[in-house]
Amino acid sequence: MAKDININVHHVTRVEGHGNILVNVSKGTIEKIEWQVPEAPRFFEAMIRGRHYSEVARIVSRICGICSVGHTLASVKASEDALGIQISEQSFKLRSLLKHAENYDSHIVHVLFLAAPDLLGAPSVFPLVPTHGEVVKCALRLKRFGHEWGSIIGGRTTHPTRVVPGGFTDVPTEQELRTLRKRITDEMLPDLNTALEVLLSLAGKFPKFERQTEYMALHSDKEYGLYDGVIQTVMPDGTKEKYKVSDYRKCTNEYVDRRSTAKWAKNKMGSYMAGALARVNNNFDQLHPEAKKVAGLLGMKPLCFNPYLNSVAQVVEVVHSVHEGLRLIDELLAAGIKREPLVKPTRFGSGTGAVEVPRGILYHHYSYDKDGMCTGGDCIIPTNENHANIQHDFEKLVPELLKADKSEKEMELALEMLVRAYDPCISCSTHYLDVKFTR
């Protein structure tokens, strides 16, 4: 039907504007489809110049309060690469355990508090409290557990204090790890099973949409890549290619697009996707058997080309992280947890670190002078890596929605849900209160 559509989702609630969705259709002809990101640059790379290597992670952690563990880990890995530091096996396992805690925590919030209301036909989680009280309480307990898990390992979950170049300034006690393990099995797993039952009942409600793209994630021969590995991409035909982490610029190829003040990225295709779906598509075989079982129940198998199912991939990863967390705790306890001295630098140069944060593969790169002072930095953030992919999703989705004769409101919801599936890290979100005094 030749109709007019004008969608302009512009978020006036914040100062600089979130990602904006713009669609203009005139008499059935598409005139404009745009995913705009008018986010102001924040110059973190400039801010760390002249800082000692011991200070850098603490500064860049502030790039994002939600992904602060990931930024801290990518930062210390880059510094350690530049300074010739090899951390101990215990530090490696503790950091992996902390990475699992962050991904678990963030995925729980995204799936249960942001994506699930869409599937239940609610505008947000808040109206669900009176109607789905027990489920919301279960979700809150799961969220709370993620915070406690991260705090036990990292000192605190938001901007962790214990993770520094060379290792950990302090480590959890054996008793803390034993208590954490018991609480995972006795308290968290039953709640997780309840949440999974709810999600299974909603699985059929995810929009049906597919677009073939390239998927990029960390890959390790030893385990499902999260804390460590090389860069790997998988193409729509299933072919995979690996890149050294130090070659990250060769596969991210950042560029500027007029629709965005944030940089976009691409590799072999016009865009690639980073995040849980990219990880599952790259590393499905290395998921924990329990996670694979849940993937099967939710109908997810690689290669999955539906970006809406990024949320389903996050559910699969939650299960993976919980079971891998138990394995890591057991190994740490078996080896005997102990405080270790920080490993000292053996050289000063340039280095790169990459980790998988909830929204995808994150790169940090630094250079240091002979005194250990930072002379340059580069950070490539997964949300920016995904912008071009969102734009290309829009360009395929809008014509399909028009062909299906969807209303303007239905199209707007479909586009918003798509953006939500990526859970973009809007770094300039503000948290001020806006109040009217009633008494």
Contact with other proteins (CB under 8 A) among 125, 291, 315, 357: 125
Query: In the range 31-90, which residues lie near other proteins by CB under 8 A?
Result: 39-42, 47, 62-66, 68
Contact call for residue 19 and other proteins (CB under 8 A): yes
Nearer to other proteins, 13 or 26 (CB): 13
The site for other proteins, by CB under 8 A, has a size of: 62
- Minimum distance from residue 181 beta carbon to other proteins (Å): 20
Nearby residues of 35 by Cβ (< 8 Å), 6 or more positions away = 19, 20, 21, 259, 260, 387, 390, 391, 394, 419
Q: Taking the chain, what is the end-to-end CA distance rounded to the nearest angstrom?
A: 53
Nearer to other proteins, 136 or 231 (CB): 136
Determine the residue type at 21: I
Contact with other proteins (CB under 8 A) among 26, 129, 339, 410: 129
- Minimum distance from residue 60 beta carbon to other proteins (Å): 11
Query: In the range 370-429, which residues lie near other proteins by CB under 8 A?
Result: 416, 419-420, 423-429
Contact call for residue 309 and other proteins (CB under 8 A): no
Nearer to other proteins, 2 or 433 (CB): 433
Distance CA 268, CA 258 (A): 21
Residue pair 316/223 in contact (Cβ under 8 Å)? The answer is: no
Strand ranges in 52-193 using DSSP code E only, listed in sequence order: 163-164, 167-168
Distance CA 256, CA 265 (A): 9
Distance CA 197, CA 361 (A): 29
Contact call for residue 188 and other proteins (CB under 8 A): no
- Minimum distance from residue 108 beta carbon to other proteins (Å): 9
Distance of CA 339 to the CA centre of its chain: 30
Contact with other proteins (CB under 8 A) among 32, 52, 137, 250: 137
Contact call for residue 438 and other proteins (CB under 8 A): yes
Nearer to other proteins, 353 or 358 (CB): 358
Distance CA 17, CA 61 (A): 23
Could you tell me the strand order of the sheet in which 20-26 lies?
A: 5-9, 20-26, 29-36
What CA–CA distances, in Å, run from 409 to 6, 183, 261? Answer: 10, 44, 28
Q: Which stretch, 28-36, 102-110, 205-213, 222-230, contacts other proteins (CB under 8 A)?
A: 102-110
Distance of CA 205 to the CA centre of its chain: 23
- Minimum distance from residue 297 beta carbon to other proteins (Å): 25
Contact call for residue 240 and other proteins (CB under 8 A): no
Q: Which stretch, 109-117, 318-326, 338-346, 362-370, contacts other proteins (CB under 8 A)?
A: 109-117
Query: CB neighbours (10 Å) of residue 43?
Result: 9
List the structure tokens of 193.
């099973």
List residues binding other proteins (CB under 8 A).
11, 13-16, 18-19, 39-42, 47, 62-66, 68, 106, 109-110, 113-114, 117, 123-126, 129-130, 133, 136-137, 140, 143-144, 147-148, 156-159, 416, 419-420, 423-439
